[in-house]
Amino acid sequence: MLSVFIVDDEYLIRAGLRQLIPWEDHGFCVVGEAESAEQALEEIRPENTNILITDIRLPEMSGIDLCRQIKARYPQIEVIVMTGYDEFDLVLKALRAGVVDYILKPIGVDNLVSALNEAKAKIEKRNGAVHQVWTNKIVDCIRNGDMMGLEYCLLLMSAMLKEQGLWNANALLILDDLLYAVLNSYPDMRFCERYLEDFRSAAHVDPDEGMQNLTRILKKILKVHSSTELDLVEKAKVYIEEHYHEKITLQSVAEAVFSNAAYLSSLFMRETGINYKSYVLRVRIRHAKRLLKETNYSIEQVSNMAGFGNSKYFAKIFKDETGVTPSAYRR
């Protein structure tokens, strides 16, 4: 979500812009407004603003002078000016001052959205050039199982972003793009896209919090990638042993050990000689036997505690596997 700051000396213009489009549906949000260039300079910071929309004519300091000062202080903020048909020379000056686009009055929905998308494209292009270099380095660290290298790379990346004046609202976009690119480098780990959802849904207060979250996720991915196939099966076995009494599925086990269901299924068969479903059944039968011999729980209770649920189903499966009913086994 890109943040937008509006500057116009007329309240009705500012209010009208806020109501003109469903901002969030287009990937933007209005974070503030000001009635003068001076007020805008006091309130705008790169941490809270990606795009500035300003009237080209303002009392005292003009919109063009505001643009020049903003671009001098915060070159990463993109500026859009609002202007009239009779202000050609001013628009030309504004473009020379670094304005990304202009909107002619009266402002229409299409013109506003078009200008916003122009600013968005420029921001994404700039961010893309930044994160591609770091994506390659991080993917190399993960593939080589280099945890120290990963930590060093992330520290260096954040330091460079700070030096380049990008440690602000733009940084969270860069971190988001970075995580997306890394996940796409591992087709067998697409389930990890849930981490992308977690990252995007987290209410990151600032880039530092976003970086902490990203670091945690990337470390998990590295640990999984550096695990051997046997390690993966053993982790799955441990998880099954700890959760056999729950409604576990191949998908839930795969996610728990940071793999995908199809890959884990074939790996499980190759390493154990039986499929996942049969293995879980054996674990549950083993625990059911223990409960029948060592406790006084009813058959129904044992059925639930061993993860079977329905006692009739449990009795049938138990006899199929052992040759006797649960009651007979207990005697």
What's the rounded Cα separation, in Å, for the pair 5 and 34? 8
Record the tokens describing residue 31, joined without a space. Answer: 């974070």
Taking alpha carbons only, the member of 211, 210, 17, 6 closest to residue 106 is 17
* Cut 0.85: pTM above it: no
How many other C-beta atoms are found inside a 10 Å radius of the C-beta of residue 216?
12
Q: How confident is residue 282, by pLDDT bands cut at 50, 70 and 90?
A: very high
Integer Cα distance of 296 and 18 in angstroms:
68
Rounded average pLDDT over 211-239: 80
Q: Are 302 and 293 in contact (CB under 8 A)?
A: no
Check whether 55 has a pLDDT greater than 70. Answer: yes
The H or E element that residue 33 is part of is strand 28-34
Lowest mean pLDDT, pick from 128-132, 146-150, 170-174:
128-132
Question: In Å, what is the CA distance from 263 to each residue of 191, 195, 237?
Answer: 12, 19, 15
Each residue's pLDDT tens digit, 304-324:
999 998 889 999 999 999 999
pLDDT value of position 8: 92
pLDDT > 70 fraction of the chain, expressed in percent and rounded: 90
Q: Which own/partner contact pairs does 278-285 have at CB distance under 8 Å and 24+ positions apart?
A: 279/237, 279/240, 280/240, 280/244, 280/248, 280/307, 281/317, 281/321, 282/321, 283/240, 283/241, 283/244, 284/244, 284/308, 285/317, 285/318, 285/321, 285/322
Q: Catalogue the E-assigned strands of 116-233.
A: none
Q: Is the pLDDT of residue 187 over 60?
A: no
The band of 51, judged by pLDDT with boundaries at 50, 70 and 90, is very high
Q: What domains can you pick out in the chain, each with its CATH number?
A: 2-107 (3.40.50.2300), 124-225 (no CATH), 229-330 (1.10.10.60)
Determine contact, residues 178/135, Cβ cutoff 8 Å.
yes
pLDDT of residue 271: 85
Helix (H, G, I), strand (E, B) or coil at 107: coil
Partners of residue 78 on adjacent β-strands: 51
pLDDT in the model for residue 268: 87
> Alpha-carbon distance 301 to 147, whole Å?
46
Question: Per the omega criterion (within 30 degrees of 0), is the bond before 207 cis?
Answer: no
